[in-house]
Structure 1
Amino acid sequence: MRDLTILGTASQVPSRTRNHNGYLLRWDGEGFLFDPGEGTQRQMIHAGVPASQITRICLTHVHGDHCFGLPGVLSRMALDAVAHPVHLHYPASGEDVVRALVSVSSPGIDLRLRPHGGSGTVAEGLDVRPLKHRIETYGYRLVEPDGRTLLPERLAAAGISGPAIGRLQHEGSFAGVRLDDVSIPRPGQRFAFVMDTAPCEGAEELADGVDLLVAESTFSDDDGGLARQYRHLTAGQAGELAAGAAARTLVLTHFSARYGEDAAPLAVQARARAADTVVIAAQDLQRVPMPQRRRWPGHGVTAPERSTAPERSAMPGHAIHRAMEATDELINGRTSDGDRVNP
């Protein structure tokens, strides 16, 4: 299961329909909670997301709308007796704030603090890059390694079945058959989270080639001066970031309260500069699936057309999905803001 649950979409000032920030990315067996603002625990209840799904909490910076929900989330995890380790990633310069927030939460979970102070890898597949805000801020990028998808018809033609398939995958060849002969490339999926920033190189590196990009869109293009003053993106700049990175889907969020409840005009501005990227104006409690896996050309499978309905379930294409099911059968024998101070 890979999808994004949007828990909050406001910037500094929440509204009747927009909570402070909060985003839960479910990525196979892990749950990444990004920037839990005030009220995140309650939003998780509304979204039907149990606290036990969280394995990592990632803070971009320590402005309140991005971290004041942390004590409530940690306390709920303690109440629910979450037994697995929970890793908390955050800028090292925010150490005092983070420790203060942790100190007022209920004890009882295996919380592991993971401060970082520069570009690099902070966990397997999880990288950070510095952004350009008024305090030290980092964005996050999650990358799945490239792999290969086995093709059942080629396995059958080569006489490979049962446990031999596992050996072939592990060793790269078996009984004169190479893995490359019975499989096609499977590009890994990529996700990026870019909050509070002016346009910068770090944002571009994070967004490069991702399947799903979550980016702040605090201001309208008409308020570009405020965006520069407070070091935020306009909607058009978010669209331009996605286009330049060839991101497949862009989720706009972190909207200033000055624009009311309707973010559709901001989405229009983003789409005007987003090229082929699908643009979604986020709503609280919305669930966005990861886009369909990319296809590499030259292997008998063409790249899928971009979806114009991003809310639909994003399972792999029928041919590859069926091939994966069939392979499983072969192996196992079963079927399948500038509002006030800190916008």
Structure 2
Amino acid sequence: MRELTILGTASQVPTRHRNHNGYQLRWDDEVILFDPGEGTQRQMLMAGLAVTPLTRICITHFHGDHSLGLPGIIQRISLDKVPHPVRVHFPAGGRQYLDRLWHATSFYDVADLRPEPVGPGFRVETSAGALTALPLRHSIETYGYRLVEPDGRRMVAALLSAYGISGPAVGELQRTGRSGRVSLDDVSVPRPGQKFAFIMDTGLCDSVFALAEGADLLVIESTFLAQDAAMAAEVGHLTAGQAASVARQSGARTLVLTHFSQRYADSTRFLDEARAEFDGDIVLAEDLMRVKVPPRLSLSHEPASASRN
């Protein structure tokens, strides 16, 4: 299963309908909680999510709407006795904030939390692929995250049949790349790895485009509307139109707009503004919404048959 659960979509000030930030990405065996703002533990309960499957927590920066829910999540990990390590990624310069949030109150700390700060050149291999981070342009140290699945190959039933490959021989091909005179390339086609990008509080910068490049699912802040573009630039944020332009220029497939300022009563205006810049799939994020990672694109051409060597 590859799915994003949206736990909160507000920016600095929550509203009656929008909690502070919180996003859980389930990518096969990897379960990553991004930016747990205040109230995330309860939002997870409302969404039917437990902390036990969590493998990582990723913090983009230490503003309250992106991190004040961390104490509750950490304490719940201990309370539920999560049996495996949970790695916590965060801007290296914010270690003091992580320590304060971790020990904000007294609790019986039995969690196996493993702080792993991010900085320039950060890259870690996960069960889902390479997780990288790039610095963004905001008022404090801030990083965006990108998850990239390795490229692979997909077996083609018609080619397997044409070469007479079946049963255990298929497994041998996948393990070793060859079965007798038949190679893996003979009976498969390339399968590009899928990509996920998570971009919060930032002005436009090169890292925004690098993170979003070719993303199958792009989650990006759209705090302001174009009428307040000057304010957005001043405080290090994006407008909905800018976020959509990033998606278009970067070749993203599905765009998730989130992190909406409380100053706008009608959130559909974000969607209208984004539509003018991006004609792909756009999701206007709502609390407790679930968004599937889009299925892989079919190859434009695929061999239908082959003759035996």
TM-score after normalising by structure 1: 0.85
Higher fraction of helix: 1
> How do 1:83-102 and structure 2 match up within 5 A?
83-102=83-102
* Preserved CA contact (<8 Å) 2:119 2:133: no
- Alpha-carbon distance, 1:53 to partner: 1.8
Q: Which residue of 1 aligns with 2:273?
A: 269
Q: Distance in 2 between matches of 1:68 and 1:233?
A: 22
Query: C-alpha offsets along residues 46-91 of structure 1, whole Å, 9 cap, x if unaligned?
Result: 0011111211000000011100100101111211111011000000
Q: Distance in 1 between matches of 2:250 and 2:63?
A: 27
Unaligned runs of 5+ in 1: 302-343
Q: Distance in 2 between matches of 1:50 and 1:292?
A: 25
> How do 1:1-343 and structure 2 match up within 5 A?
1-104=1-104, 106=107, 107-124=109-126, 125-260=130-265, 262-274=266-278, 276-299=279-302
Q: Distance in 2 between matches of 1:168 and 1:31?
A: 30
- Alpha-carbon distance, 1:280 to partner: 1.2
Q: Distance in 1 between matches of 2:134 and 2:121?
A: 5
Q: Distance in 2 between matches of 1:28 and 1:86?
A: 16
Q: How many residue pairs end up in the alignment?
A: 299
Amino acid paired to 2:301: G
Q: Distance in 1 between matches of 2:135 and 2:256?
A: 20
- Alpha-carbon distance, 1:130 to partner: 0.7
Amino acid paired to 1:119: G
Q: Distance in 1 between matches of 2:209 and 2:241?
A: 15
- Alpha-carbon distance, 1:290 to partner: 0.5
- Alpha-carbon distance, 1:292 to partner: 1.4
Aligned to 2:282, the other structure's residue is in SS state strand
Higher mean alpha-carbon deviation, 247-256 vs 152-161, is at 152-161
- Alpha-carbon distance, 1:300 to partner: 5.1
Q: Distance in 2 between matches of 1:300 and 1:200?
A: 41
Amino acid paired to 2:163: A
- Alpha-carbon distance, 1:128 to partner: 0.5
Q: Distance in 2 between matches of 1:282 and 1:154?
A: 42
RMSD: 1.3
TM-score after normalising by structure 2: 0.94
* Preserved CA contact (<8 Å) 1:187 1:294: no
Amino acid paired to 1:118: P
Deviating runs (4+, > 3 A) in structure 1?
A: none
Aligned to 1:73, the other structure's residue is in SS state helix
Query: C-alpha offsets along residues 78-107 of structure 1, whole Å, 9 cap, x if unaligned?
Result: 111110110000000100001111123641
Q: Distance in 2 between matches of 1:230 and 1:162?
A: 60
Query: C-alpha offsets along residues 282-339 of structure 1, whole Å, 9 cap, x if unaligned?
Result: 00000000111123333259xxxxxxxxxxxxxxxxxxxxxxxxxxxxxxxxxxxxxx
Aligned to 1:5, the other structure's residue is in SS state strand
